[in-house]
Amino acid sequence: MDQTALRDRARSYFGGLSPTHDWHHVQRVVANAERLATDTDREVDEDVLLAAAWLHDIGRKREAEGEIDCHAEWGAAEARDILAESGVDVETRDAVAHCIRAHRFSNDVEPESFEAKLLSDADNLDAIGAVGLARTFAHTGEISQTIHDPDLPPEADDSAAGRTALNHVHKKLLELESRMYTDAGSEVAAERHEFLETFVSRFEAEVTGER
């Protein structure tokens, strides 16, 4: 499979997107996927994994513009067509499409193949640690959300995603370590999770004037 051609084709679907899900996010997810594939002792179909990593968010722009409801569902179907045009066999197309369909955090489709689990972990790893924090605060600025509200601690925030940036860190980012599917993903997530905990502790101390 020509990964360079897939990369170039995938990039054509991006432009004008939020920095939280732009082309650089895709590049980071590919790098994470390559790292996890190297760190595992299980056999990995890297053609499937990397194709899915390059193509996993090709539906993001359409979703952001309100043209589709689910970028993962649309992206899986679009990926099938892209791969078919390249002469990729049906079995491989199905495998890549499943990875893409199952990668989304807020999804009712569980990853079944090992490659799908690796892609899910690679995508979630981009939401943990320093990069995850940067993405969170970038999104906060985009939607004019409050960074921190002392009158709305995480335990009193009944929203799913958090009504402040700090609450989002508590509700999503700090939960991601427990959502890893692979040993390799869990190992990286543990280190990034530790960094998150250090940041949150320092942040909460600073906003109260303790530090």
Q: For the domain made up of 127-211, give the CATH fold.
A: Methane Monooxygenase Hydroxylase; Chain G, domain 1 (1.20.58)
Per-residue pLDDT of 130-170, as tens digits, reads 999 999 999 999 999 999 999 999 999 999 899 999 999 99
Instruction: Tell me: pLDDT of 11 over 90.
Output: yes
Instruction: Tell me: pLDDT of 105 over 90.
Output: no
Residue at 195: amino acid letter: F
Nearest Cα to Cα of residue 126 among 16, 3, 14, 30 = 30
Residue 17: band (very low, low, confident or very high) from pLDDT cuts 50, 70, 90? confident
Output the average pLDDT for the chain.
Answer: 94
Question: What count of other Cβ atoms lies within 10 Å of the Cβ of residue 156?
Answer: 10
CATH code matching the domain that covers 1-113, chosen among 1.10.3210.10, 1.10.760.10, 1.20.80.30, 1.10.3720.10: 1.10.3210.10
Are 17 and 61 in contact by the 8 Å Cβ rule? The answer is yes
Domain boundaries, the chain: 1-113, 127-211
Residue 109: band (very low, low, confident or very high) from pLDDT cuts 50, 70, 90? confident
Residue 50: band (very low, low, confident or very high) from pLDDT cuts 50, 70, 90? very high
Question: What count of other Cβ atoms lies within 10 Å of the Cβ of residue 183?
Answer: 13
